[in-house]
Amino acid sequence: MPTTEARRWRLKGPEMEGPIARWYARIRGSQSQLDAYEKQAALITAGVPSGARVLEVAPGPGYLAIEMARLGRFQVTGIDISRTFVEIAAQNARNVGVIVDFRHGDVAQMPFESNSFDLVVCQAAFKNFALPRRALAEMHRVLRDGGTAVIQDMSRDASHADIDREVDGMSLGWLNAFTTKATLEMLKRRAYAPTQFERLASQSPFGTCDIRTEGIGLEVRLTKEEER
């Protein structure tokens, strides 16, 4: 596989540090969304054996990683490029009394040994990665043979109506709802269509992937084949 990769151009938004990160943590922390994270944690980890090591890449405020840890069956780690998010996520974990190892780091060069995790999860962040091929290569490297990476993000094919329905279900006030819709419209420009992600996966060590779309969402599952 190529060892170099040109950085992906994207319309640059505000960095997720300081006040911006804290605002994002607040709007994603409504009770309806926390309930959704609880359901997502159960679905994503279904079939993963107890005692497995789970890594969430770019966990942001840590809500999903915390819910996976609250299941009581896994050792959960999170890695995020934002120092503010690492601090917020660690505090959120302490607040609910669970242990999650939140670390600062870059998905393109993760500080983990190869073959360390049984499941890698990346939610609502992959579209923002400047080096997506390297990110996939790193996910493949840190997975154990037979392990799975689950990437959930926006689909570039999402419609305006899809975005409206998604935000309307977040139980936000009118100002936060307006801001969130505008933000999602901007972020959609960075997102991948299913055919684009299939091509990206084919160029990665995974070689192939399974893709499902629903509403604004795109779910990609990639499996690290066991060595023969």
Both tokens assigned to 224: 């690290």
**pLDDT of 56 strictly over 70:** yes
pLDDT on residue 102: 98
Q: Would you say residue 64 lies in a domain?
A: yes
Determine the pLDDT at residue 9: 54
Cα separation, 65 vs 121, in Å, equals: 9
In this structure, is residue 48 part of a structural domain?
yes
Q: Does the pLDDT value for residue 167 go beyond 70? A: yes
Q: Is residue 27 part of a domain?
A: yes
Edge-to-edge order in the sheet of strand 101-104: 101-104, 75-80, 53-57, 117-123, 143-154, 217-223, 210-214
Q: Which of 99-108, 153-162, 174-183 has the highest mean pLDDT?
A: 99-108
The model's pLDDT over 65-74, given as tens digits with 9 standing for 90+, comes to 999 999 999 9
Percent of all residues in the chain with a pLDDT value above 90, rounded to a whole number: 68
Q: At residue 3, does pLDDT exceed 70?
A: no
- 60 domain-assigned: yes
- Across the range 6-33, mean pLDDT stands at 78
Using the structure block, give the residue that is written with the tokens 């870059």.
106
Among residues 182, 180, 178, 191, the alpha carbon closest in space to that of 217 is found at: 191
Counting the structural domains of the chain, the total is 1
Residue 84 lies in a domain: yes
In a domain, 176, yes or no: no
Which tokens go with 186?
A: 């901007």
Q: Which domain CATH number covers 146? A: 3.40.50.150
- 2 in a structural domain: no
Residue 174 lies in a domain: no
Its domain, for residue 120, covers 18-154+191-223
Which pLDDT belongs to residue 183? 79
